[in-house]
Chains A and B, each alone.
Chain A
Amino acid sequence: MSGSTDWPLWEVFVRSRRGLSHTHAGSLHAPDAEMALRNARDLYTRRGEGVSLWVVPSSAVTASSPDEKDPFFEPSADKPYRHPTFYEIPDGVKHL
């Protein structure tokens, strides 16, 4: 019996309307990109949720390791001066 596990896993990204970026919606199995797109349409846009779809082989995604979470994102943690709220502005100064 031929199962679907021979089929690679695809990640599906949906643009819900023009002007917004594609957002990850979920994943599915399909034998090729063409079928992945068709399946993604049937699975993730049955109610007009999208105007554009991307399908990406899951194997093509490189992810940061959850174990290294703290050290990997450390550089941004100690730089509060990157946020506008870091700066004290006298009362009454506008448009700043």
Chain B
Amino acid sequence: MTAMTAMTAMTADTAERYEAVFDAAVAADERIEPRDWMPEAYRATLVRQMAQHAHSEIIGMQPEANWITRAPSLRRKAILMAKVQDEAGHGLYLYSAAETLGTSREELLDKLHAGRQRYSSIFNYPTLTWADVGAIGWLVDGAAITNQVPLCRCSYGPYARAMVRICKEESFHQRQGFELLLALSRGTPAQHEMAQDAVDRWWWPSLMMFGPPDDESSHSAQSMAWKIKRHSNDELRRRFVDICVPQARALGLTLPDPEIRWNEERGHHDFGPIDWTEFQEVLKGNGPCNEERLTQRRRAHEEGAWVREAAAAHAEKHRTTPPARTGHGAPQEATA
């Protein structure tokens, strides 16, 4: 054996050993942490999914922020601002988690701005009325929670930890949306109609948030094997429909699907077929707001450049003479 083949053989042997350690950890339901060895495809899948997730959070700020200035009361305005601020926070948790895989923040943002990484297609629909803020909270955040709760047990530690924080905060989002819709539903006939119209428009896109049917989902099987994903798209979609049907009844609103009915045999609700052509079109960039969302995102980034520059200049200026910090006492506490 030449020295070269010996080395190749050893490397292959080492890789095999690493892979075995990784597989065993996943099989034992342990978490994979940033500096552990992991298959490149696992890393790439996580970066793709976490980037898309992070992008969705910050793009998702736009349709709702659209209504902050026109919220009908100070209470609703304060709630909406807190919610939009949460979405920014969720984006930051996820970007940080994605960075543990060796990608930089700038790279992720550049890819979003260049249209090379996606965000959830749901945010390419417009928020036409105030009731849409309620429908987004109830249905869109509701679907997101259904998707995200199992991600708290995702095999990648930093992603799972980010999801725990996010899920805790999302439940406020969903409840405020439900309460908002309930107020409208029980209001004047015009308000009731507005609530119904919003639910009619957001229902189907919300069901699409779970992704294509299982037999057409390209990444599902591998992601389930790696325990990044714990349940299939169709399984989560079914769960969501089962949750929503009684909630819609409590709201006094109907879901825009005449085929929804309880199926005793399956123990789930049956529901009508989803228009996947629409989903594919929105994904391709032909949704009502694709262009607007991305343009706004790029503009926000560019117009915020002076803030980043000023902060950097300020940091530079104080690097030699750090501002006095009293009261927080970190150095003293650190030894305790």
A interface residue numbers (CB < 8 A to B): 1-7, 9, 22, 26-35, 37, 42-43, 46-47, 52-54, 63, 65-66
**Whole-angstrom CA separation of A54 from B92 in the bound complex:** 18
**Interface residue count for B (Cβ, 8 Å)?**
37
Nearest-Cβ distance from residue B47 to partner chain A, whole angstroms: 16
Cβ–Cβ contact A32 & B92, under 8 A: no
Cβ–Cβ contact B96 & A27, under 8 A: yes
Chain B contact residues, majority secondary structure: helix
Give B161-183 as 1s and 0s: 1 = Cβ < 8 Å from A's Cβ atoms. 11001000100000000000000
Cβ–Cβ contact A54 & B89, under 8 A: no
Cβ–Cβ contact A5 & B104, under 8 A: yes
**Whole-angstrom CA separation of A52 from B332 in the bound complex:** 13
Query: Which residue of chain B lies nearest to A36 when distances are taken between CB atoms in the complex?
Result: B315
**Whole-angstrom CA separation of A47 from B171 in the bound complex:** 13
Cβ–Cβ contact B106 & A3, under 8 A: yes
Chain A contact residues, majority secondary structure: mixed
Give B283-318 as 1s and 0s: 1 = Cβ < 8 Å from A's Cβ atoms. 000000000000000000110010011011011001
Give B82-94 as 1s and 0s: 1 = Cβ < 8 Å from A's Cβ atoms. 1001100100110
Q: In the complex, which residues of chain A have a beta carbon less than 8 angstroms from the beta carbon of B93? A: 26, 43
Cβ contact of B312, chosen from A1, A27, A31, cutoff 8 A: A31
Cβ–Cβ contact B311 & A35, under 8 A: yes
Cβ–Cβ contact B86 & A46, under 8 A: yes
Query: Which residue of chain B lies nearest to A12 when distances are taken between CB atoms in the complex?
Result: B96
Nearest-Cβ distance from residue B297 to partner chain A, whole angstroms: 13
Nearest 4 A-B pairs (CB), nearest first? A31-B315, A32-B315, A3-B106, A5-B106
Cβ–Cβ contact A2 & B305, under 8 A: yes
Q: In the complex, which residues of chain A have a beta carbon less than 8 angstroms from the beta carbon of B99? A: 9, 27
